[in-house]
Structures are given as C-alpha cells and as structure tokens.
Amino acid sequence: MSRSASWTVASIRAALLAKKISARELADEYYARIDRRNSELNAYLTLSRDRAYAQADRVDAAVSCGDNLPPLAGVPIAIKDVISTRGIRTTCASKILETYVPPYDATAVGRLDAAGAVFLGKTNCDEFAMGGSNENSAYGPVRNPAAPDRVPGGSSGGSAAAVTADLAVVALGTDTGGSIRQPGSFCGVPGLMPTYGRVSRYGLVAFASSLDKIGPFANNVPDAAAVLSVIAGHDPCDSTSAALPVANYPAEIEQSVTGLRIGVPEEYFADGLDPEVKQRVEAGIALLEKLGCRRVPLKMPHTGYAIAAYYIIATAEASSNLARYDGVRYGLRVPGSTLTEMYRQTRDRGFGPEVKRRIMLGTYALSAGYYDAYYLRAQKVRALIARDFSDAFQKVDAIVTPTAPTPAFRLGEKSADPLQMYLADIYTVTGSLAGVPGISVPCGKTSAGLPVGMQIFGPHFGESRVLQVARAVEHGLH
C-alpha cells in the first residue's frame, strides 16, 4: 500500500462499519508487513500478537452486534518500549530490563485499550529514551524508512519508523527534549508533544520527571488529534496531570487559520541551520501567509542557553530516577561477593555508554559544592526561557521554527561525538523546558529526498492551535 493510500483512523472506522474488513484481518495485514520489513528496520522489539488479536476480536464482536464503536476501534498502534504494558515485555531498550514484564498498563495505554485500539507491539528507542538517533538501543539501531542509511531520529525512532513504513497506523512516543518531534522531522510524519501535564505520565518509565511527555505519531494531523483526544486528561495516579477539560481536537483543527499571528524567532534561523532546511521551513511560513496568517518577527533572547540548561536538568533527574535499577527489586542482577560489588556489576553490565554518561553528568551536577553552580543555575535559565515563550505568546498565536538544524544524518555519523549529538536538539529543547506543546509537521524534502519538518509551538494547553496550524500546512502542501 502506498503512503497516499495508507489506512487512517477514519478509513478504518468506515471499512469496519461497512464490513469491508474485520479488525482481525487488519491486524493480520499489519503483522504481515512487520514480518516482511522489521528485520530490515528494527522498529519493533516485541510483538504482542495475543493481546492484539484479543482486542481485534472484541471490536469485531461489537461490529457484529451493531454496538457503537469506540473512537479508535480496530486501529493498529505501536507503543514505545518505555511505556508500561500489562503482560507485554517493557525493556526501555536496555539490558537491565531485558526480561521485565509490567503487571499494569500505563494510563495512556489503558485509555487506548478502552478506545478500541489494537496493540501490535513495543517499539525500539534509545536506551531509557536517552538519545537523538536511536543508536543507543541495547538491541541495535533503527533504520530510517525514508533513507535506510540514515538514523530515524531519537529517542522515539522505532515509533516514527513504524508509522513511516506503514507498520502501524499510529504510535505512541515520548518527548523529553525533542524525542517525538525530531524523529517526526527525520522520518517525514507528524509528531506531537503535548503540554506538560496534558497526558498522564503514570506508567511511563521515568527519564527526567519534569520534562517527560507522552504523545502520538501519525500519518496525518487528524489522526494525531484523534489519539490525543483519547489519551489526554486528568489522572489521579499522576499528581502532575492537569485537571483541565479536553478539547475536541479533531473538530477544532479544521478551523481556518486566517488572521492568526505566526511568530518567527530570529534565533532559530541563525548560523548552523542547513540551507535546504531553512528554505523548506521558509516556504512553509510563506504558505501560512498565503492562507491569511500574519508573520511576526520575534526575539527569544535566552534560546542560546537552552542546550546547556537542558542537559544539566535532564541528566540530574536521570541520575536520581535511574538509581532504582540496582539489581535488588527487579530487572537484571549480576551476583557479587558483596552488596556494593553486586550494585556495581549490575549497573555496569546493564546500562549502555550513553546512559552511564548521563548518570555521571547528573550525579556531578547534583553533588555537594556543585548543586548551586549547575542545577540551581540551570533552573533559573529554564525560568528565563519559559518567560521568553510567555512574552512571545502575548504577541502571537503560534511560533514556527525548524524542528532540527539538519535532515536525518547517517548512521554512525555523530555517535563518536556526544556534543554534536546534543546540539542536534537545539530547536526542540526550548519548548521542552518551557512545558509548552509543539508538533513537527512535514514541510517538504531536500534535493536528496530527505524529509524536513517544521516545528509549531503553542501556548500552554494550546494543542488545538498547534494542530490547527499543522493541519493547514499539511493540507496546503498536498
């Protein structure tokens, strides 16, 4: 099936109601595709056929009885392997959790299950979601379906690749500093990061608790909106989830963008931006102007400090969160002659190089004598970046930038230089630190055929606006 003819949430619903296909037949179709292509792409780590067919059979029973179908009935979905799934292995792409099977579903997963989705399996990612290329997985890198010699982006590269290669209709990823938006850009599919607190983090294996967010990948913006409508909302199991009503995102995104003020910050178009990426994003902005939006130049002066602040805060929180993997309660245990030796050997063998690097960076930043100089100062910078965004949203309705400074880079190109890898997040970590929603939407390809993503930020809980602008770009470019 060509990408233009891919199944969508709406087309699946119509086909089920017309009895042109059953949910079980659709699951069969997707598993056949996975069987053909996953060995090449390495997008899935674990398949969940038993649960998927049980879910599909429930949908087919509802169709045969004439019951009202839930919003995602029969929709084949992939779930990033850092999100807990009852009875399905959840490894975080790490050796330390290689055999871990959660006894419960994450809240977002439970809501998808109640909405009739069919869980195909768990997708590959950077270990514990730490990385921007999906080369840090303990189970091997994912290849970009749009260019197999290149990375799919990270950390949610498996989810992005699964949707791009039509190995799932939609997928869940997580975004801490760009881990949904950057893979969306590199693979050429929409990837949405909701506002912090919009989607429950209960059941998400923590990397950086003040930054982690769950969001969808899809082949089109309406499907991303449909998934968000299901997973968003308050959850008493997550004290950071917001008790705010959930909008009807699929309905609101079709509204006209005429009259919207689109902010374009000069700091995101400075040195280091690939000329072809700049050209495609500028063309996307010109399209929005043609549709009736007004371009507003912006200055966001603290943008240049975002990478340093992010990599202190995120690593500090990772150091704290990953202390629980000690070989005592669950996961890998490597025996030692003393308790200390067991801890050391378990963590040494269980964690990969990038996770160890971030734990050490974060432990240093939190250590006595350095806390004020690093972590406290980074939090102050974070507040200034958040203020840049709140000031900007006094003047504009949405902010448009490139998602990443370059198209997808080659496998192995940056893996020997962690600093270059971290700098690839320069346009995404700002919104993460501010806690605002953002989406990457495809806005064309380079002369070499590599996808380019345009990033759209909105104010806190402004997912409808972000999706509305993204839908206008998507519609205008097709």
The dihedrals phi and psi of 85, each to the nearest 5 degrees, come to -135, 120
CB 205 within 8 A of CB 106: no
Which of 126, 125, 120 lies closest to 168, judged by CA? 120
80 flagged as catalytic: yes
Catalytic residue among 133, 155, 159, 432: 155
| Alpha carbons 377 and 373: distance in angstroms, whole number | 6
| Alpha carbons 49 and 130: distance in angstroms, whole number | 28
CB-based burial label for 58 (10 Å; 0-12, 13-18, 19+) = middle
| Alpha carbons 121 and 30: distance in angstroms, whole number | 11
Q: How far is residue 409 CA from its own chain's centroid?
A: 19
179 flagged as catalytic: yes
CB 153 within 8 A of CB 160: yes
Q: How far is residue 165 CA from its own chain's centroid?
A: 17
Catalytic residue among 22, 48, 80, 84: 80
**Residue 120, both tokens:** 């195909």
DSSP 3-state of 361:
helix
Catalytic residue among 179, 229, 241, 432: 179
What one-letter code names the amino acid at 59? V
Catalytic residues: 80, 155, 179
